[in-house]
Chains A and B, each alone.
Chain A
Amino acid sequence: QQKVQQSPESLSVPEGGMASLNCTSSDRNFQYFWWYRQHSGEGPKALMSIFSDGDKKEGRFTAHLNKASLHVSLHIRDSQPSDSALYFCAATSSGSWQLIFGSGTQLTVMP
């Protein structure tokens, strides 16, 4: 079983809408979480990190972390067609070299 699980597998939202992506970890050692985005034909690119409970906002992107439930979410408001991509949640523990990626959520923003 994957240590970092994401849902849904795929998501379609209309342009201008809100996209919500979820991520759950099964390893309580994981304390640091990242969201990465991968457009077709490119490598993943880091969007934002979240290490503390609560919300973190960067532009149209808001991440939320609940360490007690090991749940992380990413919300994209005013979604744009250019946001269409594969989104990965990734987690690591203190002192670890390994960044463990979830299986990804394919987001499609329809014009």
Chain B
Amino acid sequence: ETAVFQTPNYHVTQVGNEVSFNCKQTLGHDTMYWYKQDSKKLLKIMFSYNNKQLIVNETVPRRFSPQSSDKAHLNLRIKSVEPEDSAVYLCASSLGNERLFFGHGTKLSVL
């Protein structure tokens, strides 16, 4: 069953637009993540958020920013999308360093 919920499932937009993706977990976990999965299915971690502490992968462009209202929510905002941002964005959560639970992903297409 799904316990990490992502919306929308798909989003199509044009270069330069701003987009925002939502993620909510109902597992009571203390850590949430955003991963990017590219067209070759490679998974790259983007952000981790734990106890109001944000850890950023230094390779992530500055136009990406996570937004959290509480430990059950971690949204992802992209200020000005570029073609290389087309990918599936996966949200996940965990309790400490235990196994990650992933959502189904949001597929972004940038035209």
Contacts and interface: CB of A to CB of B under 8 A. Distances in A.
Interface of A: 32, 34, 36, 38, 41-46, 49, 86, 88, 92, 97-101, 103-104
A99 B104 contact: no
Interface of B: 4, 31, 40-45, 48, 50, 55, 57, 90, 92, 97, 99-105
A41 B104 contact: yes
Contacts, number: 46
Nearest to A100: B45
Contacts of B102: 42-45
A99 to B, nearest CB: 6
A49 B99 contact: yes
Given A42-B104, A98-B57, A99-B45, A34 B99 contact: yes
Given A92-B97, A98-B57, A44 B104 contact: no
Nearest to A43: B102
A38 B35 CA distance: 14
26 contacts: A38-B41, A41-B104, A42-B102, A42-B105, A43-B90, A43-B103, A43-B104, A44-B43, A44-B90, A45-B102, A46-B99, A46-B101, A49-B99, A86-B41, A88-B43, A92-B97, A97-B48, A97-B55, A98-B45, A98-B48, A99-B45, A99-B100, A101-B44, A103-B40, A103-B42, A104-B42
